[in-house]
Amino acid sequence: MGSANKEQYKGIFVYTDEVLNDFEAMYRHKTGVSPITRLVLGLLGGAGVLVFAVLMLLKGFSVGLLVLLIVSALVLLLALALGRKRADTSVERYRKHYLNKKAHVLVDANGVELKINGQKSFARSRYKDIYSLLETDSAFYLEVKGRAFYILPKDGMDCEADELRSFVQKRCGKRFVKYDLPQV
């Protein structure tokens, strides 16, 4: 579609249910903590609390044992906290503001610009403001501050995916993290 030396890529697409479902699956996968991780943290924290509490009973109070007891208790609490569902409305916000909206995106040497039809303002980010590059089979996700993403469906861009991937990685100095999501 394009040449390898392009300095500007454009896209025009609609944020369909399919596009936003892909975003939701990637986002949930990215932000989730596996049950195995929670189990390991819980076991380590519980064992640490038990061991250091017994040692304090047997050997008497010491600041070192108290610190280790506190650290173990915090690991246990972390395991419990990671298992709770947190209120995260990121996906719902994207659905509310983007679903069935036509978008225009420009990726050039200065950064990324996104304009959604029907909205007065537009989003613009320089490459130094992009701190995470994510990819699924159907889209690129450029993450900026506070759970904000540029969602770029691959089939809506005027170039091959490899071209855009290479261009953005070079400008950001980062690599895309690929998420292989189950097909729904």
In Å, how far from its chain's centre is CA 25? 11
pLDDT tens for 79-111 read 667 655 555 677 888 889 899 999 999 999 999
Q: What is the pLDDT of residue 134?
A: 94
Residue pointed to by tokens 């819980």: 42
Q: How many residues does the chain have?
A: 184
**Beta-bridge mates of residue 114:** 105, 123
Predicted TM-score (pTM) of the model is: 0.70
The conformation of residue 158, written as its DSSP 8-state character, comes to S
Task: Classify 128 in phi/psi space as left (phi over 0), alpha (psi -120 to 50) or beta.
Answer: alpha
The conformation of residue 157, written as its DSSP 8-state character, comes to B
Q: What is the pLDDT of residue 1?
A: 46
Q: 165: Cβ–Cβ under 8 A, 6 or more apart, which residues?
A: 135, 140, 176
Domain ranges of the chain: 8-16+100-178, 35-83
Q: Which fold has domain 8-16+100-178?
A: PH-domain like (2.30.29)
Bridging pattern class, strands 132-135 and 177-178? parallel
* Residue with the larger pLDDT of the pair 52 and 113: 113
